[in-house]
């Protein structure tokens, strides 16, 4: 609105130039330069005010529209590039990761291999589970013997 109020500040002098100063064929507006006004003398002051106001509002709005178009164009380009990367390069990345022609069988296959430290921990846990099961069986056998001896 600041731009519009600055532009409408010239409205009174413009209308005076059209209606009162009939000797000038042109009037100098700040953003338009020299504007021919001789053909506007046949209109009433009220209509000239409305036309001037509408022209200044449209000009102010047009600057906003242009700024929005430029901003949206930049956002659209950014989205298009992101989609291109997501769709096109995704195929290449997956193909490269699963490529078994590489010496190590592909990145995914390397990721799925178990590291030696994890393998050692898994083996120790399995041994502990086996020992616990054997211990449970021994405890059950001892309890059965004690219960059996106490009942006799």
pLDDT tens for 93-147 read 777 777 766 555 566 667 777 888 999 999 999 999 999 999 999 999 999 888 8
Confidence of residue 152 (pLDDT cuts 50, 70, 90): very low
Q: In the chain, count of helices (H) and strands (E)?
A: 6, 2
Query: What is the tens place of the pLDDT at every residue in 47-102?
Result: 988 888 888 888 889 989 999 999 999 999 999 999 988 888 888 877 777 776 65
HEC string of 89-139 equals HHHHHHHHHHCCCCCCCCHHHHHHCCCHHHHHHHHHHHHHHHHHHHHHHHH
CA 102 centroid distance within chain: 36
**pTM for the full predicted model:** 0.46
What is the 8-class DSSP label of residue 115?
Answer: P
In this predicted structure, what is the pLDDT of residue 106? 63
Cα gap 107→99, rounded to integer Å = 8
């Amino acid at each position: 609105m600041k731009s519009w109020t600055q532009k409408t500040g010239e409205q009174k002098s413009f209308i005076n130039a059209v209606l009162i100063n009939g000797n000038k064929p042109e009037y100098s507006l700040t953003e338009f330069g020299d504007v021919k006004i001789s053909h506007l003398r046949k209109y009433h002051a009220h209509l000239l005010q409305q036309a001037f106001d509408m022209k200044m509002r449209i000009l102010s709005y047009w600057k906003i529209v242009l700024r929005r178009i430029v901003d949206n164009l930049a956002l659209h380009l950014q989205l298009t590039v992101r989609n291109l990367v997501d769709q096109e390069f995704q195929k290449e990345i997956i193909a490269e990761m699963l490529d078994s022609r590489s010496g190590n069988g592909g990145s995914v296959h390397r990721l799925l291999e178990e590291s030696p430290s994890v393998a050692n921990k898994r083996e120790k846990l399995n041994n502990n589970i086996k020992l616990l099961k054997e211990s449970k069986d021994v405890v059950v056998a001892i309890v059965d013997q004690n219960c059996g001896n106490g009942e006799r």
